[in-house]
Amino acid sequence: MEGPVAIILAAGHGKRMKSEKAKVLHEVCGQPMIHYVVEAARGAGARTIVVVVGFGADQVREALGGEPDVVFATQTRQLGTGDAVKACHDILKDYRGPAMVLVGDEPLVRPGPLADLIARHTQEKDACLLGTAVVPDPTGFGRVLRDSAGRFLRIVEERDCNPQEKAIREVNPSCYVFDLPGLWDALDQLNTSNAQGEYYLTDAPTLLQSMGRKVVALPVLEPDDILGVNARQHLAQAHAIMQARIQDHWMSEGVSIVDPRNTYIDGRARIGRDTVILPFTVITGSVSIGLDCKVGPFSHLREGTVLGDGVEVGAFVEVNRSQMETGARARHLAYLGDAHVGANANIGATAVTANFNGRTKGETRIGAGAQIGSGAILVAPVSVGDGATVGANAVVTSGRDVPGATTVVGVPARPLKPKAR
């Protein structure tokens, strides 16, 4: 087993989400929460990532399927976070070295602080490093107790806190680095004498200390990194913070976002320099936008869409699984689905590619420099040649391809006859 190792706890139901879905699969900016935690662990140097699954195990496995460094451990009954880590014993029993333990419901965790903890472990080989955070509002978190000299004493769960402990603002975000195999000794000694009757992982650091091993709590995490998603309200908060990060990234890369609060950009989208995103634009899925494009207001770009450089997509235009080459324009009220639009082609207002016949999806090809008139309907599969013109309100029927540099009009669309003299 290659280290460093990360263990991500993801077996819980998340009752407060009131959902049939495993909590860690709820999405933040287009991807399941667990995805971000896996990325953070990887970013911090984890070579093997063990995800503990239980409730909705098959869904979680499927969501993370195909990630070569991810393996799964099954926790049959959700007896607490300590028990969840124990479920990794069989997989990790021969491993010696650092294991980060993270939770799958904190999607905002970033790799930097985790990498710092791993770096410190490499030097000091402490039995447990606890990453902590000092937050304005500690509600919902376990509190970190220290002695008068500031040394770590223990973690007290909120439900088990007395009023003084409740006032402590240094919290446990569940970002640990444990030295293996030492952790297994502590897990063997956990008991369930607490308010929830569960095996608490939070008792492990104190147990290690009582065995004479070194435990250090370091306040390396930021309040924004540790938001735990336990209810839908937290999901919305996580989404807002993640969205701000995504937009901040693209603005740093030279993209203008005119109204960040009224713009949504999926974490998988890619956007080129000097592109301007106008208000109420929604970009979902893996979308790629070139340099110097103008998108919005009120545009919806969906999965698989690729815009070349200098493309314009305007008000109430939806582009789905489509490609628009350099300089192509769809400025108002159009739907492009499974379409390929050539360079400098113009799509008129309310023009539509009818890509679904009720059973199958078909493709539409629109050539370079083609002019698609207002209200035109292109019934897929169909192609319009380079430089061709489709008249306003024409219906180009499936298979009746329009040759290059010709004009078609009417319903169904026919070549425009030269005017009689």
**Any idea which residues carry the catalytic annotation?**
332
Kind and range of the H or E run holding 185: helix 182-188
- Answer for the pair 327, 308: CB distance below 8 angstroms, yes or no: yes
> Which range touches Ca ion (CB under 5 A), out of 39-47, 73-81, 99-107, 344-352?
99-107
> Which range touches Ca ion (CB under 5 A), out of 101-109, 266-274, 319-327, 365-373?
101-109
Minimum Å gap between C-beta 146 and ligand UD1 is: 15
Does 297 participate in binding Ca ion (rule CB under 5 A)? no
Q: Is 2 exposed, middle or buried (0-12, 13-18, 19+ CB in 10 A)?
A: exposed
Tokens of 99: 């294991």
**Of 138 and 369, which has the nearer Cβ to ligand UD1?**
138
The pair phi, psi for residue 343, each rounded to 5°, is -55, 140
Q: Where are the alpha helices (DSSP H) in 227-338?
A: 232-252
Which of Ca ion, ligand UD1, none does residue 262 bind (CB under 5 to 8 Å by kind)?
A: none
Answer for which of 46, 92, 157, 354 binds ligand UD1 (CB under 6 A) is: 157
Sign for the pseudo-dihedral over CA of 404, 344, 321, 356: negative
Q: How far apart are CA 160 and CA 138, in angstroms?
A: 14
Q: How far apart are CA 372 and CA 370, in angstroms?
A: 6
The contact mask relative to Ca ion for 103-132 (x = CB under 5 A, - = no) is --x---------------------------
Minimum Å gap between C-beta 231 and Ca ion is: 10
**Of 87 and 269, which has the nearer Cβ to ligand UD1?**
87
Q: How far apart are CA 225 and CA 366, in angstroms?
A: 46
Answer for which of 19, 31, 206, 230 binds ligand UD1 (CB under 6 A) is: 230
- For residue 216, how many C-alpha atoms fall within 13 Å in the half-sphere facing its CB? 15
Which of Ca ion, ligand UD1, none does residue 202 bind (CB under 5 to 8 Å by kind)?
A: ligand UD1
Tokens of 383: 């192609």
Minimum Å gap between C-beta 304 and ligand UD1 is: 31
Cβ-proximal residues to 234 (8 Å cutoff; 6+ apart), any chain: 227, 228
**Of 9 and 317, which has the nearer Cβ to ligand UD1?**
9
Cβ-proximal residues to 342 (8 Å cutoff; 6+ apart), any chain: 325, 328, 365, 366, 367, 368, 369, 370, 386
> Which range touches Ca ion (CB under 5 A), out of 48-56, 230-238, 257-265, 404-412?
230-238
- Answer for the pair 273, 290: CB distance below 8 angstroms, yes or no: no
What's at 404, amino acid-wise? G
> Which range touches ligand UD1 (CB under 6 A), out of 98-106, 161-169, 352-360, 401-409?
98-106
Q: How far apart are CA 379 and CA 330, in angstroms?
A: 18
Q: How far apart are CA 217 and CA 145, in angstroms?
A: 10
Considering only residues 2-61, where is the footprint of ligand UD1 by CB under 6 A? Answer: 9-12, 23-24, 52, 54
Minimum Å gap between C-beta 24 and ligand UD1 is: 6
- Answer for the pair 414, 397: CB distance below 8 angstroms, yes or no: no
**Of 207 and 378, which has the nearer Cβ to ligand UD1?**
207
Identify which of 338, 302, 44, 189 has the alpha carbon closest to the alpha carbon of residue 313.
302
Nearest residue to Ca ion on Cβ basis: 228
Minimum Å gap between C-beta 23 and Ca ion is: 8
**Of 106 and 179, which has the nearer Cβ to ligand UD1?**
106
> Which range touches ligand UD1 (CB under 6 A), out of 197-205, 337-345, 349-357, 385-393?
197-205
Answer for which of 72, 176, 200, 250 binds ligand UD1 (CB under 6 A) is: 200
The contact mask relative to ligand UD1 for 124-153 (x = CB under 6 A, - = no) is -----------------xx-----------
Answer for which of 228, 297, 387, 403 binds Ca ion (CB under 5 A) is: 228
Q: How far apart are CA 369 and CA 327, in angstroms?
A: 9
Kind and range of the H or E run holding 28: strand 27-28
Minimum Å gap between C-beta 136 and ligand UD1 is: 15
Minimum Å gap between C-beta 179 and ligand UD1 is: 19
Minimum Å gap between C-beta 108 and Ca ion is: 12
Kind and range of the H or E run holding 320: strand 312-320
Q: Which residues bind Ca ion (CB under 5 A)?
A: 105, 228, 230
Q: Which residues bind ligand UD1 (CB under 6 A)?
A: 9-12, 23-24, 52, 54, 75, 78-81, 83-84, 103-106, 141-142, 155, 157, 171-174, 200-202, 228, 230
